[in-house]
Each structure stands twice: as structure tokens, then as C-alpha cells.
Amino acid sequence: MNSLRSGLMWFVPLTVLLALTPFISNNYIVQQATFVCMYATLALSWNFMGGYTGYPSFSTSAFIGLGAYAGAILQNGGVPMVLAWVIATGVTGLFAACLGYAILRMKGHYFAIGSISIVEILRLIAASWSSFTGGGEGLNLPIFRGGPEYAGMVFLYAFLVLMLVAVLATVLVDRSRLGFGLRCIEQNEDAADMVGVNVNASKIAAFVLSAIFCGTAGAMSASWVSYISPPDAFSIVMTLKVPVMAMLGGAGTMFGPVFGALVFVVIEQSVLSRFLDYNQAILGLIIVFLIFFLPGGLLRSTLFKQFKQRILTKDPQESKP
């Protein structure tokens, strides 16, 4: 398959490069590489719902926060770290399945609002249920032993593996009946139903897929940062950032979200870190630019297509008419 092959052509070197960062560079770069993996995972998850299925889902932060809190509470209860991540993933998936059953009947704006308010509701619950979640003070987690360099490496590889699993899931879904069904729903839900796509089951499957990786990533980042609080875990900015990354690369493509996350981290580090007071305004400007000048994302832009053409055809002269 062409798009898979051309995607892998840059994705494999990128993965190798990310995996090598602890040996060829400093802690700062390792941290940024970890962010690339984390954001790529989140954007890939969102892509199942927002890209393939075309539903304006903004509940990413709800899943991240739920995973973070589930992982933190389990870890504080003495559950080993990795097991806590796995259970947190399960909890998030289960939550998404129940939630999806309820809110996936909504469409358009109503779905978008419903998905945002889930973030708000969970944040309010986390902030007010002090005895269980620590309330507004947040929760401290046991700090990962072994020094910052070792911890940085462990979390980089954890997120890298998670990203690879998310990519694998994307490729499998993209080429399966489910992916076909989701693309049908994106084009016309009623028609998809008519031709025999199990619309409800497909949508719930996409919603759960869009949740579980966020849940794991949330639990992992909670262990990584060792502290979570309601506004950080259920962040409204994050719930917007993730779709923006996916759209930046190309929503509904297999590798677009990874590319978008990479570009976003580069922008974040080169521009946002210099204008700390203007972070949200810059995110807003990125959105405006994206929507007016890059409506299909970077991977669908003409520039990238020309570039791909140049690489894929051995002799550029041949492809010219």
C-alpha cells in the first residue's frame, strides 16, 4: 500500500532517532523526544474518532485525566507502576465504552459540546471529591527511583512503545473492515447504516480506541511528573491541542498525527518557550493559520506531495508529462 510505504519511509527513521536520543544527546532533548512520543500517541488516538469517523471529539483531556487519576490512586495504594498503567488503561476503556454508548447518539455541535463538558464534569468531580482524589491540592506520586537520567530513559521508552502500539493499531484499523466502516460514517452516517455498516458498534469501537491510549499516556505522565492536579490533568488547552496536532499533520491519515505532533513540539520549543505569556495566543494563531492555509494538514499539502513524488519516483524526469 502506497500511503503505508511512504509513511514508513520517514516514520521508521524518526523512531530510530527518538530511540537513540539518550545516547547521542542531553536530558533536555530526551525530554522533548518523550513529548513527541506522548503527543503522537494522543493525536493518533484522537484520529480514530476525529479523523477517521469525523466526529468533533474534544474529550481527550477527560481520558488523559481519568487515566492519570486512576494510575495515581492505584500507585499510591501500592500497586506496581506498570500494573497501575495497565489497570488505568482498562478503567479508561471501560469508561469510554459506557460513555460512548450514551453520547454517541449526539451529532455535530451537540456531540462536540457533550465531549467538552465530560472534561469539565470530571474536573469538577476530581476537584471536589477530596477524600478520594486529593481535591484541589492534587495528588503526589512516588518519585521514580534511579536518578533523572535513568528515569528519563525509562519514560522515553515507555512512551515510545506506547506510540508504536498506537501506530500499529492505526495501521490495523486503517486496513480493516472497521476502518472502512469509520470512513463510511465520516462521509455519510445514514448511508453507511443503509449499506450494512454497524454504525453504533463501529463508533463505540472508535471512541474506545480514542480513549485507551490517552488513558495509558495519562497514567504514564502522572508517574513521570509525580504530581497531578485537576486543572493539569483535565486541561482544556490540552483537549484543543491534541486535535490541532492531528489536523496539523493530516486528520484521517495513518501517520499525519505523528508528523503533526513532531512539528508541534518543535514549534512549542522554538516559539512558545520564548513567549511564555503568549502561549495560548500562539496556539490560537497556529489554529488560524492551519484552518485558512493548511486545511488538509501538512501531509496532504501540495509541497509535501511534490516532495514525496520526487522521492518515490527514481528518476524525477520520468514523472514529468
Q: Which of 2, 292, 314, 321 binds another protein (CB under 8 A)?
A: 292
Measured CA to CA, the distance from residue 14 to residue 241 in angstroms comes to 22
| C-beta closer to another protein: residue 245 or 299 | 245
Per-residue binding letters, 145-184, with another protein (x by CB under 8 A)? ----------------------------------------
Interaction mask 210-249, another protein, x per CB under 8 A? --------------------------xx--x--xx--x--
**How far is Cα 124 from Cα 110, in angstroms, rounded to an integer?**
21
Q: How many residues interact with another protein (rule CB under 8 A)? A: 43
- Identify which of 9, 206, 36, 222 has the alpha carbon closest to the alpha carbon of residue 115: 206
Q: How far is the CB of 113 from another protein (least distance, A)?
A: 5
In the bound state with another protein, the residue whose beta carbon lies nearer, of 222 and 261, is 261
Please, what is the Cα angle at 109 between 108 and 110, to 5 degrees? 95
Residue 271 makes contact with another protein by CB under 8 A: no
Secondary-structure breakdown of the chain: helix, strand, coil percentages, each rounded to the nearest 5: 80, 0, 15
Among 133-141, 169-177, 209-217, 290-298, the segment contacting another protein (CB under 8 A): 290-298
Nearer to another protein by C-beta: 289 or 307?
289
Build a one-symbol-per-residue string for 126-145: x at contacts with another protein by CB under 8 A, - elsewhere.
Answer: --x-----------------
Asked if 9 interacts with another protein (CB under 8 A), we say: no
Give residue for cell 518519585: 143
CB of 103 to another protein, least distance (A): 7
Shortest spacing between CB 264 and another protein, in angstroms: 14
Nearest to 122 by CA among 65, 42, 46, 56: 65
Q: How far is the CB of 105 from another protein (least distance, A)?
A: 5
Q: Which helix (H) or strand (E) holds 228?
A: strand 227-228
Q: Where would I find the H helices in 145-253?
A: 147-174, 177-187, 189-194, 199-225, 230-233, 236-249
26-34, 112-120, 151-159, 218-226 -> range binding another protein (CB under 8 A): 112-120
Q: Tell me whether residue 79 or residue 113 sits nearer to another protein (CB atom).
A: 113
Report if residue 54 touches another protein, rule: CB under 8 A: yes
3-state secondary structure of 297: coil
**Residue 248 Cβ, how far from another protein at the closest point, in Å?**
11
**Pick from 221, 275, 306: nearest CA to 31:** 221
Euclidean distance between CA atoms 1 and 89, whole angstroms: 31
**Considering the rule CB under 8 A, would residue 190 count as an interface residue with another protein?**
no
Q: Residues 73, 75, 79, CA angle at the centre, nearest 5°?
A: 120
Distance CA 40, CA 44 (A): 6
